[in-house]
Structure 1
Amino acid sequence: MTRSGRWGTFLGLTLTTAACGSGESPGAPAHVTPIVRPPAPENEFTPVELEATVDRLVTEINASSTRTMQMAVLLRNATGFWAPIVAAANRAMGELDVTGSVIGPVAPSEDGSESEDLQNLQIQQAVADGAEGIGLAPISDVQTAAVDEAVASGVHVVTLDADVAASKRAIYVGTLDRSAGATGASTLLAMLPPPRGTVIIHGSVNAAGSSGLERTQGAQDVFEAAGYEVLVRQSTWAAQGEVEDVEWMKTQVETADPPVVGLIGLFNISYRCAMAAEAAGKPELPIVTFDFDPKTVDYMRQGRIKATHIQRQYYQGYLVPYILYGIKNIGLDATRKLLTPQLVEGGLVDTGIDMVPWDKIDAYNDFLGSIEANQ
């Protein structure tokens, strides 16, 4: 069985234990039963190309002398945005019949340093406990050294949701942030009156949070190329963040010159854009968002948020164990080749995003239910 007890008490919360392998030594051929995946749901939101990529991986792995494997998936959190990742990673590990656990969340701290240190310890502990592959949602670039140490020990690391690009990780799986920001901006652009006008981006100007900054710059480039002025609000997750974000955006809606003609939020707290427009007495302003927070959904049902963009985090969590298992059984180069339809720059797997209009909420909820990925 997995050795997760120590992780649960010392390094975080062990969320769920995946199926155990057949018990042979780590290097011995052992997977007698071929991997069998359930058929993909038939839904307009099913990412057919991603499903086909996993099927190719399964076919190639089943043709090899498959082996048992121990892995760990280390996340920053376990609820809300992260819940589909937890469900998907556990499902994939069960289908693969590997030994492993999904671990999270790391302990919170106001400046992030405690969480970063704890995640580094989790990486080290996973290696010490015999993990042959690690899926990691890194907190920041602080994880670079710990990732490199794991790789030097012979453990492949696949990152998801955020990357440590300067490390020796094998592959990144997730949203390509600059492209996602541009996609979201294009959605809002179609709803705007002709320039002149100002667009508010609830995003990031923080160079330390490189993925948020990339997404923001991708959106900003689209609006500026179209002739709009852009104001960027640094999103705030601290205790008073909602009040501060809403007040800042409200003030801009009331005073900006040229006037604000639309708002876009790029994170799971995007619904604050709708709160700000309402507080400024401009609920009719077009707003688009990211992610599927319950508050975002509520505003969509009211027609106040016109569309949101979902990062397919379920597929991030689902792909990572399959990729780790592929690297062990058929090698890194062969695994990368099979990922080619989504592979960018040699090591980035783009899982894409779903654009969900306000009047497609129920259809999208049905899709999430069909893969057990509701947040």
Structure 2
Amino acid sequence: MKIEATIDELVAEINKSSIQPMQIAVLLKSLNGFFAPIATGANRAMGELGVSGRATGNVLGSADASAGQEESTEIQTKQIQQTMVEGAEGIAITPFGEGNAAALDEAIANGIPVVTLDTDVLSSKHSIHVGILSKYAGATAGNTLLEMLPEGPGTVLIHGWADPGWLDGVNRTQGARGVFEEAGYDVVVHQSIYDDEARDVEVMRGKIEDADPPVVGLIGMFSDSYRCVLAADAAGAPDLPIVAFDFAPQTADYMRQRRIAATHVQRQYYEGYLGPYIVYGIKSIGLDATRKILAPQLVEGNQFDLGVDVVPWNKVDAYNDFLDEIGAEQ
């Protein structure tokens, strides 16, 4: 409700300003899976701005799910450069990480406001980032699982991220890790092998079987969190408590079976909806005025904190109905 109120105020102020046509490029990692609600929100915002004559442009995303991180970063860097050639006056983007920083700063140097969505690029000079506070979100998920754990000693396995090339993933993982270590549990972090589910599950199985003290719970930090269930089954430990992140169809199915106790959802629809409006707001009412309106959710000056929805297993269908209501099915 607070996010909706902030959006309403921003839209109202924009509508008071004179119509200044603006070409906006929305560049997403993908239009599918986790990013589908972001695309839905962005398309809706672009449509509304287009009807009023304020914005033109497209929401673009990769259709090649097989591309690796380095190749995807190069593709997106070329997209950034191409949008500048084609006359983009504002960019909202879900970047692949620090590898996009130079291209984004080139756009900013040319007077193009840039708003990052989902993944931040700390070394870039972009105007505003819209997403979750990763360390806090990880700690929130950690506390959800903590309530389900038996008394120690015991080990918690985190299906997370350790490679500093993706700082948001590291911070989310470390937020959860800190909760368990403070409570006296041992922690094993397994970095997601995102592009190889079978290998991912097999490595986790080995870590569950080898843990000393034994694993007492699992937590996944990303949309592939449901693999924790597969790993627990492979290790012959189907009764271990499991907490997930995001709202992949497999996660929802396991929640209905009570195999996943709860998940934590990032409100991607609002991420996508805010992107074009913030970009246009910077043009029409200025960056300072836009920040002032966004202030209730702004942290450290330029990070718009969307927070997470904590969804327990017995609310999975009610939450799905809510997503359907706002057109943000996942």
TM-score by length of 2: 0.96
Deviation (angstroms), 1:255: 3.0
AA of the residue aligned to 1:257 = D
Q: CA RMSD in A?
A: 1.3
Between the aligned partners of 1:226 and 1:301, the Cα distance in structure 2 is 29
Larger relative contact order, structure 1 or 2 (CA cutoff 8 Å, min sep 6) = 2
Q: Which runs of 5+ in 2 are unaligned?
A: none
Q: What is the CA deviation profile of residues 57-99 of structure 1, one whole-angstrom value per residue up to 9, with x for unaligned ones?
A: 1222222223222101001111111111111100011112221
2:314 to 341, 346, 359: 359
Distance 2:23 2:67 in 1: 33
Partner AA of 2:19 in structure 1: T
- The residue that corresponds to 1:372 in the other structure is 327
Q: Tell me whether 1:114 sits opposite 2:65 in the alignment.
A: no
* Matching of residues 243-322 of structure 1 within 5 Å: 243-322=198-277
Q: Indicate the residue corresponding to 2:168 in structure 1.
A: 211
Q: Please say if 1:155 is aligned against 2:112.
A: yes
Say if 2:73 and 2:96, in contact at 8 Å, map to a contact too. yes
How many Å separate the matches in 1 of 2:66 and 2:201? 24
C-alpha displacement at 1:308, in angstroms?
Answer: 0.5
Q: Is the 8 A contact 1:180 1:218 kept in 2?
A: yes
Give CA-to-partner distance per residue, 1:198-228, whole Å, 9 cap, x none: 0000001111111111111111011101110
Contact 1:178 1:216 in 2 (8 A): yes
**Pick from 78, 81, 87: which aligns with 2:40?**
87
Structure-1 residue corresponding to 2:188? 231
* 8 A contact 1:309–1:353 mirrored in 2: yes
What's the CA shift for 1:249?
2.0
Residue aligning to 1:135 = 92
Tell whether 2:124 aligns with 1:167.
Answer: yes
Between the aligned partners of 1:106 and 1:131, the Cα distance in structure 2 is 22
Q: Does 1:61 align with 2:14?
A: yes
In structure 2, C-alpha distance between the alignment counterparts of 1:111 and 1:117, rounded to whole Å: 10
Determine which structure has the larger helix proportion and give its number: 2
In structure 1, runs of 5+ residues without a counterpart are 1-47
Alignment equivalent of 1:144, drawn from 93, 101, 116: 101
Residue 182 of structure 1 pairs with residue 136 of structure 2: no
SS of 2:30's partner is coil
Distance 1:157 1:107 in 2: 24
Residue in structure 2 matching 1:77, options 30, 38, 42: 30
Which residue of the partner structure matches residue 40 of structure 1? none
Once residues 275 and 248 of structure 1 are traced to their aligned partners in structure 2, the CA distance between those partners, rounded to angstroms, is 11
Q: Does 1:51 align with 2:4?
A: yes
- 1:249-290: per-residue Cα shift (whole Å, max 9, x none)? 222322321111100000111011011111222111110001
8 A Cα contact 1:199 1:228, kept in partner: yes
Once the two structures are TM-superposed, the CA of residue 127 in structure 1 deviates from its matched residue by 1.4
Matches of 2:65 and 2:225 in 1, distance apart? Answer: 22
C-alpha contact (below 8 Å) 1:108/1:114 kept by paired residues: no
Contact 1:106 1:118 in 2 (8 A): no
Structure 1 residues 11-66: Cα deviation after superposition (integer angstroms, max 9, x where no partner): xxxxxxxxxxxxxxxxxxxxxxxxxxxxxxxxxxxxx0100000111222222223
- 1:136-180, CA deviations, whole angstroms, 9 ceiling, x for partnerless residues? 111120111100110111110000010111111111001111111
Equivalent in the alignment of 1:330 = 285
* Cα offset, 1:110, TM superposition: 5.3
Cα distance, 1:107 vs structure 2: 4.8
- Matched with 2:296 is 341
1:125 and 2:82 equivalent? yes
Counterpart check, 1:195 vs 2:152: yes
Q: Which structure would you say has the larger Rg?
A: 1
Partner amino acid, structure 1, of 2:180: F
Q: Equivalent pairs: percent with the same residue? A: 59
Assess if the C-alpha contact under 8 Å between 1:107 and 1:114 holds in 2: no
The alpha-carbon distance between structure 1 residues 139 and 197, as it changes in their structure 2 partners (threshold 3 A), is same
Superposed CA offset, 1:179-208 (max 9, x none) = 110010010001111221100000011111
Correspondences of 1:29-44 after superposition (within 5 Å): none
